[in-house]
Chains A and B, each alone.
Chain A
């Protein structure tokens, strides 16, 4: 119909007449109509209508959709952790594993991805969008930009888990690479383990989603600034708004490198681009570290927003709070390299990153001091312990708990001790669970009633949710820390069966269960709220009063206090308050400088800080190590010469110079000595890493696990440092080695050869140990008989045992393969002596027998020998030919059924 001035028009959604030139494009009209049709139909179902708030405005609907999707991914990610940890506990109990190695490690990968991005990132975007729009009174626009961002974000979560594969069995499509894709692991043509291109496309979609959302908010903020210029000039913006703006600045800085690193990997995989893995990793970590701070800003925003509202007084020091926001933004992009301290990126670059990592303590120190000081003087009678306050308190404490262990990780020399151990994972989960998630829940409890228009149904459920989250999170963090103290590496399933590890893994599992159980109370409360909650109305209330009223529905009635704003008159002048803040900041700054100076010599002298060349000590052993998926090959020159697999042979007290290279994936040589500084070096394909250390003075067999996850056979990738007695000395017994605990739990156990019962397990290792137990025997100088027995039971042969290269839908196909070959596999099992001048020298060897107790015997002179399968077994997992570059593929060279035979002089 025409407008009053005669121009053509049509009727708008609200029944008003809309001029033709103001009509949205045809595509938007189509989408609007389609959405309306879907919404109308779904709204007929009360469940959808209530849960998704289908009768509300589009901004509310999309925000609710994001929150529900976020909680969904959070739940799925939680069950990923449950699935992984259940297998770890089962392995420790010697029980069969129900998931394959790909499924187990992909559970960790997807746990991280889903929790960090599907849950935390999505909830952060939902809450910040809601905050900006509501707190500033902005009328939201560009609905389909926001919708597209949400669709892309959640679509990316689906893509990152690999293709939907309708044919059963082939689990290669799961991405078992790590929540970060440490290039070149997973890149087709570059690595033995390949993920589907959907994985990389998923990262690109995630980056596009977040950048689109950022643009959406920026457009609204610009509009707001433009329309309110007269109001905003010279006005103090709320502190939380500074942090929101900071987040908006950081998001493109953070996700830009992600997109670049991903595109580079895809180009290398599918377009023949040259790949520099170390450069790619540096670019990636500009995202990988910054994203944690971007997420950490959510609880920071929560504290700066909620604590003043709940306390009914402004932030303690506005100027310091704003300064902390600026410092967070400036410093956050500079820290990525501290994840690469052990890689060959350059000593001074490491040092500068350490300095920047220390510097970011300052804005954190300001934030938590300001939050605490804001509460100083608040009477108990004016404070309400609702769920918002409780979770804010947990986030405050969790940030301190997790934050304080950060400087240890940031100190280069200390990082060499703890890198890739569960200590780091404990620090990370203290931040994510106890700080970020707790902060997100504080905001959720504050804004859910405002979003849904209903008060929380039950304060009791909210309190149980808080209690279980706090208790479960603390258990998880402490259990991870205890595992880290034992030296346990992250992501490892195939771990030594040590009682302390088993106990801590079980405690960790209990913590995960407690957290997951706690979230059920949140979900239940959420459902009851949208269906049975009383009506929430903010009419006549200020923004702060509305937040307090929303929070009040999570507080028992007897403990509630009035929500009205109260007149507030500053009595402590700003200079006095700022003097205290400045004093605290000065204290922290001075301490940081002192610690930096103290840590500098150590930073320049870690084991990987010594480059090749220079003057080496006399009789240095030179070892060229090459890492592959999943073993090390070594070429030694010096006092000991020869080529070995997964073995480094040195004399007691000898200096060792390592030159290391890698293909297929980044690996780490981790020798966790406990009576001297550990050796911990990352080896990145395309680069050479160096290390120098002095071998222990106590002869023995020291475990050297791969510290960096490099694919599904990661747990079997353990080498041995064999320390021989000094030349000319008789071969001692290992009594001293075993008694003084000279090494670490990764050192294989020491067992007498005569009484040992070596038994292969379903993962193809002897007695759940890699290397297998170090067998000891005694022989006269002229030689004498030495014997030990071993068995690889038929029951240990299955789809997860690399010894049989059969992948089939038939669950017993591997055993049938063995039976058809008369229980004999074409893999050499034997004994090799370690010759100082020729490397391993064959003593006896025969094809590997299955399901038979074999008594291995030989006449041996005192010395050190290798036993078992000492050459890697080629492994290829390709069920029915379904594996490939589109679905994922894995091959590798695996060596797990071996150990050291130590024959001492009688």
Chain B
């Protein structure tokens, strides 16, 4: 069998690469998780026990995106 080729050349109009899309998905996922955790932070009875971990998670998310954007490309 000859090596397959695309039905037609790849579109050149696409501009959003997988890094950006996966990054956006990570943002959505992080927002969803923070939304889930924030409830317990907002309840006076549970806030003291959750707040430390919640802040740590928030800081880690900032670090994740900061290091990801700063890091050199996989070239």
Where the two chains meet, the residues of A that have a C-beta atom closer than 8 Å to any C-beta of B are 310-311, 313-314, 316, 365, 368-369, 371-383, 389, 393-394, 396-398, 400-405, 407-408, 411, 413-414, 416-418, 423, 426, 474, 478, 481, 485, 537, 539-541, 545, 549, 552, 557-564, 570-572, 576-577, 580-581, 583-584, 587-588, 591-592, 594-595, 598-599, 602, 606, 673-678
Contacts and interface: CB of A to CB of B under 8 A. Distances in A.
Interface in B52-73: 52-57, 59-61, 63-64, 67-68, 70-73
A489 B57 CA distance: 25
Interface in B19-65: 19, 21-23, 25-26, 28-30, 32-34, 36-37, 39-40, 43-46, 48-50, 52-57, 59-61, 63-64
B34 A404 contact: yes
Contacts of B49: 411, 413-414, 416-417, 602, 606, 677
Contacts of A411: 49-50, 52-53
Contacts of A407: 53, 56-57
A368 B30 CA distance: 13
24 contacts: A365-B64, A368-B26, A372-B22, A372-B23, A378-B17, A380-B17, A382-B10, A393-B25, A397-B25, A400-B29, A408-B53, A417-B49, A474-B32, A558-B7, A560-B6, A560-B8, A562-B10, A571-B75, A580-B70, A581-B71, A584-B63, A591-B60, A606-B49, A676-B45
A561 B53 contact: no
Nearest to A374: B74
Contact of B73 (A376, A403, A557): A376
B73 A580 contact: no
B67 A397 contact: no
B60 A377 contact: no
Given A369-B67, A379-B17, A541-B3, A405 B36 contact: yes
B34 A375 contact: no
A117 B10 CA distance: 41
A329 B68 CA distance: 26
A393 B21 contact: yes
Given A537-B1, A602-B48, A396 B26 contact: yes
A474 B49 CA distance: 27
A577 B25 contact: no
A109 to B, nearest CB: 26
| Contact-residue size bin, chain B (C-beta under 8 Å from the other chain) | 35 or more
Contacts of B6: 560-562
Given A397-B22, A673-B45, 5 more contacts: A373-B74, A400-B26, A558-B8, A561-B10, A602-B52
B64 to A, nearest CB: 7
Contacts of B70: 580
B39 A485 contact: yes
B67 to A, nearest CB: 4
Nearest to B32: A401
A310 B34 CA distance: 30
B20 to A, nearest CB: 8
A-B pairs, 10 with minimum CB distance: A377-B73, A580-B71, A413-B49, A598-B52, A404-B33, A595-B56, A401-B29, A397-B25, A572-B72, A400-B29
B45 A677 contact: yes
A405 B33 contact: yes
Nearest to B8: A558
A549 B75 contact: no
A591 B40 contact: no
A564 B10 CA distance: 13
Name the residue among B5, B16, B33 with the largest chain A CB count within 10 angstroms.
B33
A481 B74 contact: no
Contact of B53 (A478, A557, A599): A599
A615 B25 CA distance: 53
Contact of A369 (B17, B29, B32, B68): B68
A383 B18 contact: yes
Name the residue among A310, A404, A539, A594 with the largest chain B CB count within 10 angstroms.
A404
Nearest to B34: A404
A606 B18 CA distance: 45
Given A560-B6, A572-B74, A577-B71, A591 B64 contact: no
B29 to A, nearest CB: 4
A407 B52 CA distance: 10
B67 A580 contact: yes
Nearest to B37: A408
Contacts of B72: 376, 572, 576-577, 580
A677 B34 CA distance: 21
A375 B57 CA distance: 24
A409 to B, nearest CB: 10
A382 B16 CA distance: 11
Name the residue among B50, B56, B72 with the largest chain A CB count within 10 angstroms.
B56
A580 B18 CA distance: 19
Contact of B18 (A375, A400, A673): A375
Interface string B1-15: 111111110111011
B40 to A, nearest CB: 6
A301 to B, nearest CB: 18
A389 B50 contact: no
B40 A560 contact: no
Nearest to A403: B33
Given A571-B75, A572-B74, A673-B45, A587 B67 contact: yes
A787 B6 CA distance: 82
A577 B10 contact: no
A397 B30 CA distance: 8
A372 B19 contact: yes
Contacts of A561: 6, 10
Given A376-B19, A400-B30, A563 B36 contact: no
B18 A408 contact: no
Given A377-B75, A408-B53, A557-B7, A369 B64 contact: yes
Given A369-B68, A562-B5, A587 B30 contact: no
